[in-house]
């Protein structure tokens, strides 16, 4: 049977057959005087075996050594490969989770530009750094519960509250000024809404903000405001 026939019957390309010959994986039974390759039944069987092993994702080099030296390395080869694939899967799965989280957060934002994306990635990495896996799980659930509108509303509220504080400080008000009480209370309720009341999460959040000053700045909290905010929250009974 000619190479075209074999290709058609096995559904692989002529080039691939050439390549396998080059690798010494599958040699034609003989050549015609014109130099055309001819394959026999044994070659068809060999090819099917090659394809079976290839389907396991084995590198062709290992396929060859399995088929040429049919000794006892089969189990070893499979187990080695199994480990490789296991590693790949766990790797890709981790990546998938990151991507999903990044995508979800991107969809949240108004303008999904490249800059937004970069910031989101940074934030996602930060989250992974400061929260435990379980906490992230919990946060994701809360996120679901609240729903997109509520989230958007929160973002609005935060902007509002932060700018109120900024202005108060600019006007020279004391952090303990009674007019700031509602703002302080709103602040705390926003944190509670985010954390679902989970103390550990609140504390992770706090260390994160303390360690990554740039994060606060992004949302409009200058380092100079931190002490002010701390004072303000203490007046309504917030304990660190």
Partner DNA sequence: TTGCTCCTCACGTCACGTGAGGTGGC
Residues at the interface with a copy of itself (CB under 8 A)? 49, 52-53, 55-57, 66-67, 70-75, 78-79, 81-82, 85-86, 88-89, 92-93, 95-96, 98-100, 102-103, 106-107, 111-118, 121-122
- By the 8 A CB rule, do 151 and 194 touch? no
Contact set with DNA (CB under 7 A): 2-5, 7, 13-16, 18-19, 34-37, 54, 59-61
Q: Which residues pair with 210 in a beta bridge?
A: none
Which residue, 71 or 144, is less far from a copy of itself as judged by CB? 71
CA angle 158, 163, 168 (to 5 degrees): 130
Q: How far is the CB of 3 from DNA (least distance, A)?
A: 4
Please, which residue, 53 or 205, has the CB nearer to DNA? 53
Q: Quote the crossing angle between the two packed helices 41-55 and 60-68, to the nearest 10°.
A: 130
Name which of 29 and 118 has its Cβ closer to a copy of itself: 118
The residue (of 119 and 186) whose beta carbon lies closer to a copy of itself is: 119
Q: Which does 55 bind (CB under 5 to 8 A by kind): a copy of itself, DNA, none?
A: a copy of itself
Return all residues near 135 (Cβ < 8 A) that are at least 6 apart: 198, 200, 201, 204
Least Å distance between CB 44 and DNA?
A: 14
- Measured at the CA of 196, the angle between CA 191 and CA 200, to 5 degrees, comes to 80
Contact partner at residue 152 from DNA, a copy of itself, none, CB < 5 to 8 Å by partner kind: none
Can you tell me the distance from the alpha carbon of 177 to that of 228, in angstroms, rounded to the nearest whole number?
11
Q: In the bound complex, what is the minimum distance in angstroms from residue 124's beta carbon to a copy of itself?
A: 10
- Residue with structure tokens 């940074």? 122
Q: Output the smallest distance, CB 2 to DNA, in A.
A: 3
- What DSSP assignment string belongs to 37-93? EE--HHHHHHHHHHHHHHHTT--HHHHHHHHHS-STTHHHHHHHHHHHHHHHHHHHH
Residues 220, 223, 225, 227, CA torsion sign: positive
> Choosing among DNA, a copy of itself, none, which partner's interface includes residue 54 (Cβ < 5 to 8 Å by kind)?
DNA
- Pick between residue 121 and residue 173 the one whose CB is nearest to a copy of itself: 121
* CB of 15 or CB of 199, closer to DNA: 15
């Amino acid at each position: 049977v000619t190479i075209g026939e074999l290709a058609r019957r096995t559904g692989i390309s002529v080039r691939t057959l050439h390549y396998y010959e080059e690798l010494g994986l599958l040699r034609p039974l003989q050549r015609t005087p014109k130099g055309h390759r001819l394959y026999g039944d044994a070659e068809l069987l060999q090819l099917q075996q090659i394809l079976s092993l290839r389907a396991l994702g084995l590198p062709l080099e290992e396929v060859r050594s399995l088929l040429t030296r049919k000794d006892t390395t089969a189990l070893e080869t499979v187990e080695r490969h199994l480990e490789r694939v296991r590693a790949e899967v766990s790797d890709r799965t981790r990546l998938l989770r990151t991507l999903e989280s990044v995508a979800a957060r991107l969809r949240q934002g108004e303008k999904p530009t490249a800059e937004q994306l970069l910031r989101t990635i940074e934030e996602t990495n930060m989250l992974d750094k400061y929260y435990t896996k379980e906490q992230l799980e919990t946060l994701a659930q809360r996120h679901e519960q609240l729903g997109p509108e509520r989230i958007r509303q929160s973002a609005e509220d935060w902007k509002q509250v932060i700018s109120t504080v900024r202005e108060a400080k600019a006007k020279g008000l004391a952090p303990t000024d009674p007019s700031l009480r509602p703002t302080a209370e709103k602040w705390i309720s926003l944190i509670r809404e985010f954390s679902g009341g989970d103390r550990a999460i609140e504390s992770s959040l706090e260390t994160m903000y303390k360690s990554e000053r740039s994060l606060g700045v992004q949302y409009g909290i200058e380092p100079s405001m931190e002490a002010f905010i701390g004072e303000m929250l203490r007046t309504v009974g917030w304990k660190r």
